[in-house]
């Protein structure tokens, strides 16, 4: 299975999506429009600084116990 994301609203992108809908082996899922904050919350996102702090901590712990 292959997933294709199209984030362009141009005429070409719209034509491609409409063509893809006609193919028997494809499924087009229209993503609901959401704000950046909603998208982050949906995937349990966190700030980059928090992510890298946790990453550094885990690396230190890994090598401390090695």
Instruction: Look at residue 46 in the predicted model and tell me its pLDDT.
Output: 84
Q: Judge whether 1 lies within some domain.
A: no
Q: What is the C-alpha to C-alpha distance for residues 47 and 35, in angstroms, rounded to an integer?
A: 16
Asked if the structure places residue 41 within a domain, the reply is: yes
Asked if residue 25 belongs to a domain, the reply is yes
How far is the C-alpha of 50 from the C-alpha of 41, rounded, in Å? 15
Query: Residue 58: which pLDDT band, with cuts at 50, 70 and 90?
Result: very high
Instruction: Give me the domain span that covers residue 37.
Output: 11-64
Q: What is the mean pLDDT of residues 23-36?
A: 81
Residue 3 placed within a domain: no
Say if 45 falls within a structural domain. yes
The C-alpha atoms of residue 35 and residue 4 are separated, in whole angstroms, by 21
Is residue 44 situated within a structural domain? Answer: yes
Q: Is residue 17 part of a domain?
A: yes
- Higher-pLDDT residue of 51 and 34 is 51
CA distances from 37 to 29, 40, 49, 54, 61 (A): 21, 5, 17, 21, 32
Domains held by the chain: number: 1
Q: What is the pTM assigned to this prediction?
A: 0.42
Sequence-distant (≥ 6) Cβ neighbours of residue 28 within 8 angstroms: 17, 20, 21
């Amino acid at each position: 299975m292959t997933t294709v994301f199209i984030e362009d609203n141009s005429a070409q992108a719209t034509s491609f999506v409409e063509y893809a809908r006609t193919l028997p082996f494809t499924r087009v899922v229209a993503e609901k429009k959401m704000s950046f904050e909603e998208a982050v919350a949906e995937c349990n996102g966190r700030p980059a600084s928090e992510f890298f702090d946790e990453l550094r901590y885990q690396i230190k712990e890994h090598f401390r116990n090695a």
